[in-house]
Structures are given as structure tokens and as C-alpha cells.
Structure 1
Amino acid sequence: MTTTEQAPTADAAAGGDAPLIELRNAGKSYGNIIALKDINLRVGAGQVTGVLGDNGAGKSTLIKIIAGLHKPSEGEVLVDGVPTVFESPKDALNKGIATVYQDLAVVPLMPVWRNFFLGNELRKASFPWSLDINGMRATTITELHKMGIDLPDVDAPIGSLSGGQRQCVAIARAVFFGARVLILDEPTAALGVKQSGMVLRYITAAKEQGFGVIFITHNPHHAHMVGDHFVLLNRGRQKLDCTYDEITLEALTQQMAGGDELEALSHELGRK
């Protein structure tokens, strides 16, 4: 079954000003358990939408809905202003929505170029049973350079790269294979300061090239450095929806940390 579409909305017909992807009052329930409720999210071209939340906030469920793995139980998903139902992750990919998960879906012992084309290998026109190794190697180098990534050796096993470098290769791979919207699942969670900075620079580079980015994170400092718009999830509910100009890092950190709950805890522990 293919992606189901309805007539374009007024925004889409008006000249392409509609978000690349949008959730309207989206929710997801598993039986009596409500994982998400009334989520509204917009991702525009050349924008980074930071989705923040602690463990159990609903970030993973949100990713699965946008990536086409799960259908929302309520509300709707719009792509370019058109109400859309994803029947599978392939449907989402065909619409230009790519997810870079924390595990990156790489084979550590394979070279960088082989991981770049993993599952989409190029073959020689004259010998279709033979891989076009030189073509894949050259394309990998070119595409990484477009993202500002300069690796000394694309023949090196990808497992020998730093965590930040592997993240950047995964981002460049998604872009090359047609992504317009990048969903980045906690890309800096297991990285140090220097490697996190590398990933944040490439998120900004993707934004400047016109891609829409959904940056899933529990780190308000990282989100505020690159984000244009912020959504905060708490136990499956949306607790914050604002732009960069509407919130300071301190306020975003306080909201993320629990706001009143943090203040009450500080008072209880005798800290002023």
C-alpha cells in the first residue's frame, strides 16, 4: 500500500510556504497507555527544530511517527502542507524524511565508503554483478566534502572514526540519498565536548543548505546553540512551543530541568 494523500492545503497551494513536515494534534496510544497527546510540531526548510525531553518523555514515539514506523492514533501528519499517512518507513524516506538513529546503522569493520552506500551499492553498467568500488569511493569523498567533512582515508573502517565523525558520515549519507528532513536521534548524547561541537557544526551546515532538521536531545545547551524553534515534551505532553527569540538558554534549561519542581527540590535540600 502506498502513501495516502489528500488535496493540498491552502498553505501548500499558496507557494510552498508550508512546513516540510508538520504534526497537528498528534497522539499515540498503546491500549490504555497514552504515549503522546496533542503534539504540534513544524519543521521548515533551513530550520532546526529542537525536541527536548527527559527519558520517558515521548521522544522515541515521536521519532517513530515522523519516520513512518508507527501511525498516530489521533491527529495528522502533513508533508509540504499535504495530509499524509505513512504506511512504512520507506514511505517516509520516499518523501525525503530520513532518521539518523543513535546506533547509526553502520558496520564498524567495513570501510567508510562501503557504509556510505550500505544497502544502496553502485554497480558497473557493463558488469552489473560487480560493485563500482571506485565510483562509490569517489562519491563518498565528494559528498563528505560538500558537508565540510574531510576524512583522511575513506578506506578506513568506520569503527576507527570518532563518534562525531561517524555521526557526520551518517548525516551526509542521509542527505545524499534524498533527505529533505533529517531526524537526528540524540546525536551528541555519548560524545565529549569537542566531538559534540563537530556534530553541531554539521547540523548548522545542513540547515544553511536548506534542510529541515529535527534535533532530538535532552541537552538544552546543545539545542539552544543550533535551534530555531523548540518543543519540550514531558510524559507524552507538549509543555513548550517557542522560537529562539522567545526563550533564553537559562529559561530553556529551567523548563527542561522541571522548573517549579527543581525550585522545590532546591528549597527542600536547603539550597538558595
Structure 2
Amino acid sequence: MVERLIELKSIAKTYGRVFAVGGVNFHVDRGEVVGLLGDNGAGKSTLIKILAGAIQPTSGEILVRGKRETHWSASRSRDAGIETVFQDRALCVQQTIIRNIFLGRELTNALGFLDSARERAEAERLMREIGFTSKVFSPDSIVGRLSGGERQGVALARAIYNKADLIVMDEPTTALSLTETEKVFRFVRAVRSGGRSVLFIGHNIHHVFDIAERFVVMDRGTVALQATKEEVGSAERLIAYMERLAHPQGVEIPPSPGHRPEAAA
């Protein structure tokens, strides 16, 4: 049976009389990539801030591995194995890959001194795990000399070192070329093959459709759609559905593969 890592039940967040999210039901299981979609203002940012413990929901329940959480916070979120890779990746570009992975959580020996040898070995292991196969890179490579896709890989390596079971990636392919986007996809697939889960947030629906297995579409603070890739059928159908949300009148969703018109009659 698949393990449910996290589940949100009837989560709402209000600011005065304004609902940022209202009655959201949402979950992520172990070993899956979930695509989170929605226009600006749909509630995606509020939802991931709640997941990260940065803000408290006004009402609703948060369950981690089936257990209800109380006093949810950033530290509780990290303890639950949730790490967020924000759009700017929060990397120190003038530092090495090693220093970025272990920033704030350095490995020390019995005397309390920095254990450089152990950090190097662990950094090499993490780089292999997420798919840094090129010999051009080493743990001593300066992050500022890496491409955008490779920097996403460093951020993922840091999240794995921090024992993340669920990695939230906020717009990871923004402003990346096709080649760099494919590098990000390769890193995400490696993370998933290791039994971890990824919540992949993006505006490029084709990118999200290519990498995710299940999709959650938000609209004006609520979940408008939850569907698997098989149920959606194609990126074009997903785009058409989101266009209908934005323009309720006059947008027709194309049929999915194998659709029989007489079956719908």
C-alpha cells in the first residue's frame, strides 16, 4: 500500500474577509511527482507556504503519514521531511557545491572541527544520486559557474541531505532552455527513483505535464481539478481546461485519446 506522506483536509487561510485558500483538500503520496498548476492569484503560493510552515492555516487539518499535526510550523515541516526549493534556489553562488549542500548543517568530527573529508565523500554520493554524471563537476566546483539546471540539481542535493521525503520545487524551469529543463527533469526523476516525492509548481503546462504523474489545478483559492496523467490525456487538454477556468464561456475541451462521442451522450 502506498504511503501517504502528507494530506491537507479542508485547509483555509483568510486575511480578514479575504480567502487566500478556502477548503483545500490535497495530498502527496510517497514516490510520486505531483504537478501544481494555476494562474497568478490561484492560491498556489499560499498553499506551499502552509506546507512549509511559513504561515498557519486559519482552519483545517494537516496529517503527516496519517497522523494529525498540531502547532504546525517551519520546524515541524522540516522534521516531517518537507523541503522547499524556491525559485531563486537560495544558493551562495560564490561558494562551492560542498559549502552549499552543508550550509548551516556542517559535518564535524568528535572534536567539533569541520570534517572536510566526510563532507566531500557525502557530496560526491549526493551528486551521483541525483545524476551529476559529468566529470567536469566536482564537489569543489563553484556554483556560480554552473548552469541554471545544474544549480537546481545542487538545491535538490541539499534537500536530500536534509532528509527530505517531499521536495517542493517552485517554478524550477523558469527562464531555462530546453536542454537545461531536461537536466532538471533528469534530477527530478532521480529523486523519485530514490523513493522521494516532488511537488512541481510551474506556469509552463507542457513542462509540468511532461514530468508529473498527477495534477492539481487551483483556481481562486480552491482545488478545481485533481487528475492523473492518464485521466487528463494530453497537455493540450490540460491547457484547454485551464483556459475554461479563466474564460468560463466558449472554450471547448478537446476529447481525450479513445474518447467516443456516443459514450458521452
| TM tier, smaller | 0.7 to 0.9
Residues 68 and 86 of structure 1 are in contact (CA less than 8 Å); yes or no, is this contact kept in structure 2?
no
Identity rate of aligned residues, in percent? 39
1:149 corresponds to: 132
Secondary structure at 2:158's aligned position in 1?
helix
1:261 to 2:244 alignment:
no
Q: CA offsets per residue over residues 90-146 of structure 1, 9 Å max, x none?
A: 1111111111111212111111110110000112323x1x32222212211111101
Q: Aligned pair count?
A: 249
Aligned AA (1:142): R
CA distance in 1, matches of 2:249, 2:211: 27
2:168 corresponds to: 183
Residues 108 and 159 of structure 1 are in contact (CA less than 8 Å); yes or no, is this contact kept in structure 2?
yes
Residues 217 and 226 of structure 2 are in contact (CA less than 8 Å); yes or no, is this contact kept in structure 1?
yes
**Unaligned ranges ≥5, structure 2:** 253-265
Aligned AA (1:29): T
TM (norm. structure 1) is: 0.85
Residues 102 and 186 of structure 1 are in contact (CA less than 8 Å); yes or no, is this contact kept in structure 2?
yes
CA distance in 2, matches of 1:119, 1:36: 33
Q: CA offsets per residue over residues 228-272 of structure 1, 9 Å max, x none?
A: 211111221211111111102211111233457287599xxxxxx
Alignment of 1:112-127 (within 5 A): 112-126=97-111
Alignment of 1:1-272 (within 5 A): 17-126=2-111, 128=112, 130-150=113-133, 152-248=137-233, 249-258=235-244, 261=247, 264=250
Deviating above 4 A after TM superposition, structure 1's stretches of 4 or more consecutive aligned residues are 262-266
Aligned AA (1:35): A
RMSD: 2.0
Secondary structure at 1:75's aligned position in 2?
strand
Aligned AA (2:129): K
CA distance in 2, matches of 1:88, 1:42: 18
Secondary structure at 2:247's aligned position in 1?
helix
CA distance in 2, matches of 1:85, 1:212: 23
TM (norm. structure 2) is: 0.88
Secondary structure at 2:4's aligned position in 1?
coil
Aligned AA (1:48): V
Residues 86 and 92 of structure 1 are in contact (CA less than 8 Å); yes or no, is this contact kept in structure 2?
no
CA distance in 1, matches of 2:241, 2:14: 25
**Unaligned ranges ≥5, structure 1:** 1-15, 267-272
CA distance in 2, matches of 1:56, 1:121: 38
